[in-house]
Amino acid sequence: MKQYKVAILGATGAVGREMMKILAERDFPVSELHLLASERSVGQKIAWKDRELTVELACDAAFAGMDIVLGAAENDIAKQFAPAIVAAGAVFVDNSSAFRMDPNVPLVIPEINPEDVKKHKGIISNPNCTTIVSLVAINALNQDSPIETIVASSYQATSGAGAGGPKELMEEVEALRVGKSVEPKVFQYQIAYNVIPQIGGEAFEGYTSEEMKMQNEGRKIMHLPDLRVSCTCVRVPVVRSHSVSIVVRTKEKISVERARELIAAAPGCRLVDDLAHKQYPMPLDTSDQDIVFVGRIRDDLTSDNGLNIWCCGDQVRKGAATNAVQIAELVIRG
């Protein structure tokens, strides 16, 4: 089997480290793995498989000879290095939002639109984590009857804000336990014992940037240019795995029984839907794995063609690192 030279841009962050783990788990054919980060991390030693790798400086010259670059850095870093990555002849699978809505850049969830990978011109974008979890959960319905509208509320884990998110949650819980005050740094308010109904800045008529991603990215991924989405994104005091409540309205009626059949057979999904026996998706059950759990499927009582769905998925893995590695697997398959 052909082996590939792979670099991870932003390797020392939460998603970068998860990418390392998943490359090993999925036995991606790596001949060389280069860990790239900012100057302050250069020289760090990180164990990978049976060896120890040294973090290198992210600079234009670092991409020479690379076949694939997995991006786990912020938008500005992705934009800064994308030209050098493409010029080096590598394929840049980028987890930031820098190129997601660029018409020349495919936006891919392998379970939904794997064929779009072939349209790349050197860059492929990884969608937003909440978008990935939600669309994997509902795509099978779209295959049966086109989805026309989505109303969603997300319950997003603290790890969605990076490694500092869970740390801040734990520290606040401990401080409050002993009667100390807390000073939020990662989140705009105390997250322990609280929920914060804002993720991102205002983007459109009171909707935040995070809330608009599901509509804008969903249209592109599912090839539904007229899809309408109303979304509310909420940060909750959960360590890992996002949850989403979704009302899906399709062109034709899909029964609850048919929806369960479709979702149970859908790639990347697991049906967990037995209210009588208290079985439904929860963050604790969906963390540290790659399947989106789907349940609480029931008719929407406000529309004839609507279904209510609850789903959970690990946003660090399937919502970011695993999806990127799956895209890289599609690239090397050709």
271-302 confidence digits (pLDDT tens): 999 999 999 999 999 999 999 999 999 999 99
Same domain, 224 and 79: no
Same domain, 122 and 136: no
Same domain, 75 and 139: no
What's the pLDDT score for residue 1? 82
Q: Which residues contact 324 (CB under 8 A, 6 or more apart)?
A: 19, 70, 71, 72, 93, 95, 126
For residue 34, which phi and psi values (nearest 5 degrees)? -110, 130
Can 242 be counted among the known catalytic residues?
yes
Same domain, 72 and 164: no
> DSSP secondary structure string, 65-112?
T-SEEEE-S-HHHHHHHHHHHHHTT-EEEE-SSSSTT-TTS-B--TTT
Query: What would the two tokens of residue 221 be?
Result: 């991924």
What's the pLDDT score for residue 269? 98
Alpha carbons 211 and 221: distance in angstroms, whole number = 16
CA dihedral over 103, 107, 110, 111, signed as positive or negative: negative
Same domain, 267 and 120: no
Pick the catalytic residue from 120, 129, 311, 312. Answer: 129
Same domain, 92 and 159: no
Q: Which domain holds residue 287?
A: 131-315
Same domain, 289 and 327: no
Query: How many helices (H) does the chain have, and how many strands (E)?
Result: 8, 16
3-state SS, residue 46: strand
Same domain, 108 and 135: no
Nearest to 267 by CA among 135, 156, 176, 100: 135
Same domain, 163 and 289: yes
Alpha carbons 227 and 104: distance in angstroms, whole number = 20
Asked if 31 contacts 3 with a C-beta cutoff of 8 angstroms, the reply is yes
What's the pLDDT score for residue 117? 98
148-161 confidence digits (pLDDT tens): 999 999 999 999 99
What's the pLDDT score for residue 153? 98
Same domain, 123 and 135: no
Same domain, 111 and 188: no
User: What is the CATH classification number for the domain harbouring 106?
Assistant: 3.40.50.720
pLDDT per residue as tens, the chain (334 positions):
899 999 999 999 999 999 999 999 999 999 999 999 999 999 999 999 989 999 999 999 999 999 999 999 999 999 999 999 999 999 999 999 999 999 999 999 999 999 999 999 999 999 999 999 999 999 999 999 999 999 999 999 999 998 899 999 999 999 999 999 999 999 999 999 999 999 999 999 999 999 999 999 999 999 999 999 999 999 999 999 999 999 999 999 999 999 999 999 999 999 999 999 999 999 999 999 999 999 999 999 999 999 999 999 999 999 999 999 999 999 999 8
Pick the catalytic residue from 242, 269, 311, 312. Answer: 242
Can 129 be counted among the known catalytic residues?
yes
User: What is the CATH classification number for the domain harbouring 176?
Assistant: 3.30.360.10
Q: How buried is 189 (Cβ within 10 angstroms: 0-12 exposed, 13-18 middle, 19+ buried)?
A: exposed
Alpha carbons 154 and 312: distance in angstroms, whole number = 10
Query: What would the two tokens of residue 69 be?
Result: 């670059």
* Domains in the chain, number: 2
Same domain, 140 and 38: no
CA dihedral over 226, 100, 203, 16, signed as positive or negative: positive
Chain position carrying tokens 């011109």:
121
CA dihedral over 277, 156, 104, 250, signed as positive or negative: positive
